[in-house]
């Protein structure tokens, strides 16, 4: 009886399955037909909601700055020029801290921050992380909406994102795109990795946030790859993890201290592995060792391959870079391959923060102009000497920039003496020059890149030959950083 019941039910069940499959196909077809409009409405609703949530956290940054002219500038190399710039940033605390790119505020003498509501604040530079191109500003804003950097967000390839900023000075602009790639390195020897996106970015977007459709921060917009100078769908953002670590250091210390090992690393390539007959295929090659640095004291030699540092396995230059940031104070283990032998060394790194960019930012004629030489200079203090790597023979005067008619000196030179007179301050340099009779020989003892030399520029330039600082206006760089 039971078997007879099953026999009669099987054809009925099969027919029902066929009808169900046909119904599902038809329903799926209708859904797919309607999906584009439905998906568009959902995306539109999401982006509108995110815009309302994110916009109060985003700011436009306006700067006035001075810098030493270089390649691509209208003035001769080394001349001090002024410029205006625009960029973006965003609040990272309720008490008015703003995160942006270091290059947005490089050399800035005045920084203004404009919010969505039109409120303008004067900002001060709280700290700079040169390696990661990040800067922290402090404003008097209170109880503002901000991005909480402690909240995690995991970007995914293909994920929809919004890039915020002030492209071409157009504040509070947003553009929609995808995460094109994760952990994108621009070159094998660049230890930094970025989020790549095709969301439109242009000059002025620098320092703005890259967010997902839930309004969570993913990264800091920082550069584009472009042949035209405009957006070509290749934008890059500093990941949240890097921004979080940098903010914590900048808020407390004003700089991002990093362990200095005293060696020159290089990524391994098939050519290096084959040509040097290396026994490992992963690791970081040591090209050079500072004879007075921690690596030398630990016994590291050029040609060694670093395969471990502390608890970290070192496979790439990025691994080494990350491990250096996470190194504790004190002595750590360093594993290297030397030929076919693995050696375990002990290294005690130095912890230093790189000097903030733009020593010329605070230059003014009263304090820094050395009229007789046509240069802007500053007294070389112990702290400043440490930032430039020290000097050979002690005190002196550091040349910051030129006025356009320099008597043989270049930015970065340290002037130690005028004729036989040693100088240890800007005032001493001015007095020594004043004591040189008109038309009398002039000899400067300078230090350039650690090499001492005598410069004989001849007679001092006449006052009429000295040029004032020129003024240029720029809205941002249009190569890699913007």
Instruction: Catalogue the active-site residues.
Output: 103, 133, 206
Distances (CA, A) of 410 to 78, 296, 398, 414, 447: 7, 32, 10, 9, 10
Closest CA to 93 of 154, 162, 150: 150
Structure tokens at 36: 């584009």
Q: d(Cα 204, Cα 399) in Å, to the nearest integer? A: 32
The partner residues of 249 in beta bridges, in order of sequence, read none
- Total residue length of the chain: 482
Nearest alpha-carbon partner for 365 in 462, 434, 468, 471 = 468
Looking at residue 360, the DSSP 8-state letter turns out to be: G
Q: Of 135, 186, 177, whose CA–CA distance to 158 is shortest?
A: 177
Q: Which helix (H) or strand (E) holds 416?
A: strand 414-418
| Terminal-residue alpha carbon distance, the chain | 82
The rounded Cα 53 to chain-centroid distance in angstroms is 27
Please, what's the b/e burial string for 372-386 (b: 16 or more CB within 10 A of its CB; e: otherwise)?
A: bbbbbbbbbeeeebe
Residues 97-109 as b or e (16 or more Cβ within 10 Å = b): bbbbbbbbbbbbe
Are 75 and 198 in contact by the 8 Å Cβ rule? The answer is no
- How many other CB atoms are found less than 10 A from the CB of residue 474? 15
Tokens of 286: 């040591």
Of the candidates 81, 84, 78, 47, the one whose C-alpha atom is nearest the C-alpha of residue 62 is: 84
E-strand stretches of 203-304: 209-212, 217-224, 235-239, 258-260, 263-267, 284-289
- DSSP readout, 60-86? EEEEEEEEE--TTSSSPTTBEEEEEEE
Q: Which residue has the tokens 């104070």?
A: 329
């Amino acid at each position: 009886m039971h078997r007879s019941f099953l026999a009669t039910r099987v054809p009925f069940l099969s027919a029902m399955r066929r009808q169900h499959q046909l119904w599902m196909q038809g329903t799926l077809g209708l859904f797919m037909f309607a999906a584009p409009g439905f998906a568009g409405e959902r995306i539109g609703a999401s982006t509108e909601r995110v815009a309302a949530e994110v916009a109060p956290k985003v700011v436009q940054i306006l700067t006035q700055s001075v810098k030493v002219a270089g390649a691509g500038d209208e003035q001769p190399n080394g001349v001090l020029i002024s410029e205006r710039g625009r960029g973006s940033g965003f609040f990272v605390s309720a008490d008015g801290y703003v995160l942006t790119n270091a290059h947005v505020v490089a050399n800035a003498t005045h920084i203004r921050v404009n919010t969505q509501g039109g409120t303008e604040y004067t900002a001060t530079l709280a700290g700079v992380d040169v390696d990661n191109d990040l800067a922290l500003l402090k404003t008097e804003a209170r109880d503002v909406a901000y991005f909480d950097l402690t909240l995690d967000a995991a970007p995914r390839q293909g994920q929809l994102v919004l890039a915020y900023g002030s492209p071409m000075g157009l504040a509070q602009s947003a553009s929609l795109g995808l995460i094109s790639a994760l952990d994108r390195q621009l070159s094998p020897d660049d230890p930094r990795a970025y989020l790549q996106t095709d969301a439109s970015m242009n000059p002025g977007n620098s320092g703005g946030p890259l967010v997902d459709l839930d309004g969570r921060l993913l990264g800091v917009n920082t550069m584009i790859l472009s042949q035209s100078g405009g957006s070509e769908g290749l934008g890059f953002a500093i990941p949240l993890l890097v921004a979080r670590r940098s903010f914590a250091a900048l808020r407390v210390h004003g700089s991002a201290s990093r362990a200095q090992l005293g060696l020159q690393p290089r990524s391994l390539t098939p050519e290096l592995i084959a040509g040097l007959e290396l026994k490992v295929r992963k690791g970081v090659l040591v090209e050079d060792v500072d004879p007075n640095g921690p690596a030398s004291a630990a016994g590291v030699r050029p040609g060694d391959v670093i395969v471990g540092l502390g608890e970290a396995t070192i496979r790439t230059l990025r691994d080494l870079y990350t491990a250096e940031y996470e190194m504790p104070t004190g002595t750590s283990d360093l594993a290297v391959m030397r030929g076919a032998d693995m050696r375990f060394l002990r290294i005690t790194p130095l912890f230093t923060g790189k000097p903030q960019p733009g020593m010329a930012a605070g230059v003014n004629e009263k304090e820094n102009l050395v009229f007789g030489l046509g240069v802007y200079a500053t007294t070389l203090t112990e702290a400043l000497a440490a930032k430039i790597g020290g000097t050979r023979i002690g005190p002196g005067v550091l040349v910051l920039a030129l006025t356009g008619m320099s008597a043989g000196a270049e930015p970065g030179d340290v002037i130690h003496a005028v004729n036989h007179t040693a100088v240890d301050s800007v005032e001493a340099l001015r007095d020594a020059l004043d004591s040189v009779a008109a038309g009398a020989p002039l000899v400067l003892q300078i230090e350039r890149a650690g090499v001492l030399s005598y410069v004989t520029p001849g007679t001092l330039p006449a006052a009429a030959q000295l040029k004032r600082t020129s003024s240029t206006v720029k809205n941002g760089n249009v190569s890699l950083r913007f």
